[in-house]
Amino acid sequence: MQRMPVWTSVALLLASGAAAAQVPQLTTATYDDWTVRCEMHDTVKTCEMEQTSQIQGQPVSQIALGRPSKGAQFRFVFQVPINVWLPSGVTLVLDDKDPGISATFKRCVGNGCFADTELNDETVRKLRARTANGKLLFKDAAQRDVTIPVSFKGFGPAFDAMSKD
């Protein structure tokens, strides 16, 4: 699965005229298992943090957290392989006592299916405090359960770095 920039298209839509023709300035930083990526298009800076999960060296999912503009709600975007059971959506489960963060699939393209959801401040605080691993749950096209581990190692520092304006 090839990485698809989650917020890049949002930033490009915000840029207009000559600004859209300029090459964006890209910076990245790694915080344990999370990567923060920022793009500057003219005067618009857009950042996201992401984690790619691999099984046997092959990328199988990507989780990105960011916001399309300053002051907007933070959003999780989940990318999983095609051949998923769309009605089930995807859920990020933090532990067995938590119902998780659920998202509805919005679209599938050649390299994956995407689901997204907004996060409230309480959920963001809970995620920043996480140290134990979670898991991403969805069903494949045959309606079999798929579980992909998600690390929260470095989530707090990555979130802080991404949130700086």
142-151 per-position pLDDT tens digit: 999 999 999 9
Residue 2 lies in a domain: no
Tell me the per-residue pLDDT of 22-80, one tens digit each, with 9 for 90 and over.
677 899 999 999 999 999 888 888 899 999 998 888 888 999 999 887 888 999 999 99
Residue 1 lies in a domain: no
Predicted pLDDT at 5: 47
Predicted pLDDT at 22: 65
Residue 41 lies in a domain: yes
Overall average pLDDT of the 70-93 stretch: 93
Residue 74 lies in a domain: yes
- CATH number, domain of 95, equals 2.60.40.1880
Nearest Cα neighbor of 94 from 150, 147, 49, 144 is 150
Number of domains composing the chain: 1
Predicted pLDDT at 54: 84
CA distance 123 to 14: 27
